[in-house]
A and B are shown apart, each in its own frame.
Chain A
């Protein structure tokens, strides 16, 4: 769009985007906030002491002054958020004095994926006792105490891959030995089924809107979300992105039953303890929504997260199980049907969303020096062309 200065967006342009792309209220809120602060300064390295001070201020408001923060240190990993580990000495309600290992997860000035800490907080809270999640304690939803919005959760034990294994960025390409796969796979399927079956109506999810069953509203909110992000962040246009958006709108699936959707359910996003091979925590809920289970199924079965079995021929979903077996096991565990047409639509949708955030948001954030890892965000732009080509192939296959 010529004549729009996306680095200094006007109030009129922001208002026009909000009107044009109807999506969930909280998504609208965080995207609007992103644009409102875009013309501000880029990200500058934040001293650890400043984060500790911010955590202290947050805790003072939440639990009073009877606590001590120790052993603060940076954690690496992930392209989108800053993470600081620390130990909190405090009187934990119901448990008494405790030294609890904690993690602060905070946004940079702009992230490769702009999401809501409040939604992430509520989702993790909603699944305590349902599937393994790290205990989540406090949320600074609008950056009142910390430099940017943040949440604090307990440190969960475990590894994302065998200690002696290697993998690529974000845990992609992790190869799991057969003995590990056999133990993790049933849990992997059961947990997904449990997430999709969970009653979201009584889960305290106030930052989420519920799409109407029997309509295309759920799918439309999703496409509008990424259409809007493309308009907000993209630099050069990509005709295939326009064609993908048009295809998605033309083929919107009807929602048969709303479920909580994790939106990044894959190997690399769960921890397991090596001594007993139990999944100990599901992580990275930031893109979760109340939506269509096929979004998760399409994501989890993406070839990008698959690896081949020892025979070199059998592609395993998330390096765990062949796709047909995975879908059959999921149907059995959840009692929910898998519709292949809807799953195909969500494969296009998922690739569309990732292509948008890699090629548009990643570019814009790095170009304006807005993240703590601009060099990684820039590096990731290179994968965008494979994603676009996959969308092209999927659309050709679907027509």
Chain B
């Protein structure tokens, strides 16, 4: 997916800075201030997005360490004991969640891009030969992959309004509800 938040935010910031802000009446103080805030929040979003997942994972690790310390606190007070027991339950769930969050989203994207490139390279390698049977077989496999992928790409872009019959396209949440191997 090339249409990622990073490129969208970058181009929106440039449009606001280069075109919209210079067009604002300088006497409209509220509009001037809010335009600056729009730039500020978008810039913050641009710097926050790439690290947000790691930030949350880091916090969860710290909270788990804290939970571990708290569950070891000796107590005879029933109220404290009950709260610690609740904490221990959530600690178990959180430990499992953390175990499932070892891979960074950036790694996921890099892997997707690497495989895209390598799949493309197989197509190009086949095209460079005179082996038509291999070319057609490789092409068929890529067409099948593309059919499923473009369905999702188009669904994700549906809010833009390009689709002539948007109702015929399943919602992206529905398409992503099942993992590909389950679909």
Q: Could you list which residues of chain A lie within 8 angstroms of chain B, going by C-beta atoms?
A: 1-2, 44-45, 235-243, 245-247, 249-250, 303, 359, 363, 366-367, 369, 372-375, 377-379, 381-386, 388-389, 392, 395-396, 399
| Among A237, A378, A392, contact of B143 (Cβ-Cβ < 8 Å) | A392
Q: Which of B122-176 contact A (CB under 8 A)?
A: 123-124, 126-127, 132, 135-136, 138-139, 142-143, 145-147, 150-151, 153-154, 157, 160, 162-164
Query: What is the minimal beta-carbon distance from B165 to any residue of chain A, in angstroms?
Result: 11
A113 and B164 alpha carbons, distance in the complex (Å)? 25
Chain A residues near B119 (CB-CB < 8 A): 237, 239, 242
B11 and A236 contact, CB distance less than 8 A: no
A367 and B9 alpha carbons, distance in the complex (Å)? 10
A173 and B135 alpha carbons, distance in the complex (Å)? 38
Query: What is the minimal beta-carbon distance from B180 to any residue of chain A, in angstroms?
Result: 16
A389 and B150 contact, CB distance less than 8 A: yes
Using known A-B contacts A241-B120, A389-B154, A395-B139, determine if residue A377 contacts B11 with beta carbons closer than 8 Å.
yes
Q: Could you list which residues of chain B lie within 8 angstroms of chain A, going by C-beta atoms?
A: 1-3, 7-8, 10-12, 14-15, 18-19, 22, 112-113, 116-117, 119-121, 123-124, 126-127, 132, 135-136, 138-139, 142-143, 145-147, 150-151, 153-154, 157, 160, 162-164
B10 and A366 contact, CB distance less than 8 A: yes
A241 and B132 alpha carbons, distance in the complex (Å)? 18
B127 and A245 contact, CB distance less than 8 A: yes
A375 and B139 contact, CB distance less than 8 A: no
Chain B residues near A369 (CB-CB < 8 A): 10, 14
A237 and B114 alpha carbons, distance in the complex (Å)? 9
Chain A residues near B157 (CB-CB < 8 A): 382-383, 385-386
A302 and B136 alpha carbons, distance in the complex (Å)? 26
Q: With CB as the reference atom, state the residue of chain B lying closest to A45.
A: B18
A237 and B2 contact, CB distance less than 8 A: no
| Among A2, A382, A388, A392, contact of B162 (Cβ-Cβ < 8 Å) | A382
A381 and B127 contact, CB distance less than 8 A: no
Query: What is the minimal beta-carbon distance from B31 to any residue of chain A, in angstroms?
Result: 19
**Top 3 closest pairs, chain A to chain B, by CB:** A246-B127, A385-B153, A375-B15
Query: What is the minimal beta-carbon distance from B156 to any residue of chain A, in angstroms?
Result: 8
A238 and B138 alpha carbons, distance in the complex (Å)? 14
Chain A residues near B22 (CB-CB < 8 A): 45
19 A-B pairs besides A243-B138, A381-B3 with CB distance below 8 A are A45-B19, A236-B112, A237-B119, A238-B120, A239-B119, A240-B142, A242-B119, A242-B124, A243-B146, A247-B139, A375-B14, A378-B8, A378-B10, A384-B2, A386-B163, A389-B153, A392-B146, A392-B150, A396-B143
Q: With CB as the reference atom, state the residue of chain A lying closest to B1.
A: A236
B14 and A374 contact, CB distance less than 8 A: yes
| Among A237, A239, A249, A375, contact of B146 (Cβ-Cβ < 8 Å) | A239
Q: With CB as the reference atom, state the residue of chain A lying closest to B159.
A: A382
Chain B residues near A250 (CB-CB < 8 A): 127, 132, 135
Chain B residues near A249 (CB-CB < 8 A): 127
A246 and B132 alpha carbons, distance in the complex (Å)? 11
| Among B11, B142, B160, contact of A239 (Cβ-Cβ < 8 Å) | B142
A359 and B143 alpha carbons, distance in the complex (Å)? 18
A382 and B7 contact, CB distance less than 8 A: no
B120 and A239 contact, CB distance less than 8 A: yes
Q: With CB as the reference atom, state the residue of chain A lying closest to B9.
A: A378
- 22 pairs, A vs B, C-beta closer than 8 Å: A2-B117, A44-B18, A45-B18, A236-B1, A237-B117, A239-B119, A239-B120, A240-B146, A243-B139, A245-B127, A246-B135, A367-B7, A367-B10, A372-B18, A374-B15, A383-B157, A386-B154, A389-B150, A392-B143, A392-B147, A392-B150, A399-B136
Chain A residues near B116 (CB-CB < 8 A): 236-239
Using known A-B contacts A236-B116, A239-B116, A363-B2, determine if residue A388 contacts B150 with beta carbons closer than 8 Å.
yes
